[in-house]
Amino acid sequence: MDHNKSNDNNNDSRNVAFYVREANPIDLMNPGISRINVDYWTETYNAGFYLHYFLTWPDLFLVAVDPNKEIIGYIMGKVEGEGTNWHSHITALSVDLFHRKCGIASDLMKRFEEVSNKRKAYFCDLYVRVSNQVAVEMYKKMGYVIYRRVLEYYSGDPSEDAFDMRKPLLCDVDRKSVLPAPKDPIHPDEVPE
């Protein structure tokens, strides 16, 4: 099912037409996804990694497409855990540099959360660089909270900490998934697989 959208965001006067749909095998080869992965904030993965997500969680691998059928954004993730720890995880979210601040990331996340609710996830989580304050603020506006800090999560010189951010979903009526973490901060080897 496609979601059509024409967004006029108060932060940006551009009116951008796009629609969100599940990714397909051709999208994995499309230069759109690799073209989007050009900035510092976006983690990149090998083709096998993207293919694994596509084959295992196809309903959680979504693309935003413009009227010319060019990919201008994508989100991919998975579901994991057990019991009240059954949750969806956003592994990657990126929007083309020329289409940011137009509501595309928000729409991708909303659609991802809809699918997560259908999968009976208790919460949705993601990791974001501590220094990426634009993304942190966007996630907060969408109802995500900083659950804990993961020390030196992003490798590099220097390495960088991540915020583990969470949003309770429909199954978590008591919002237990966003209660204070039992340990904060943690090291990457303490992050559950």
At 75-119, the pLDDT tens digits run 999 999 999 999 999 999 999 877 777 889 999 999 999 999 999
Tokens of residue 50, six digits: 């993207």
pLDDT at 12: 43
Q: How many residues does the chain have?
A: 193
Maximum CA pair distance of the chain?
48
pLDDT at 124: 98
- The type of residue at 146 is I
pLDDT at 6: 44
Please name each of the domains of the chain with its CATH number. Answer: 3-179 (3.40.630.30)
Kindly list the distances between the CA atom of residue 142 and the CA atoms of 6, 56, 121, 146, in Å, as whole numbers in the listed order: 19, 26, 17, 12
The pTM assigned to this predicted structure is 0.88
Question: How far apart are alpha carbons 107 and 164 in whole angstroms?
Answer: 21
pLDDT at 30: 63
pLDDT at 100: 78
Kindly list the distances between the CA atom of residue 94 and the CA atoms of 4, 122, 134, in Å, as whole numbers in the listed order: 19, 24, 13
Residues of the chain with pLDDT under 50: 1-13
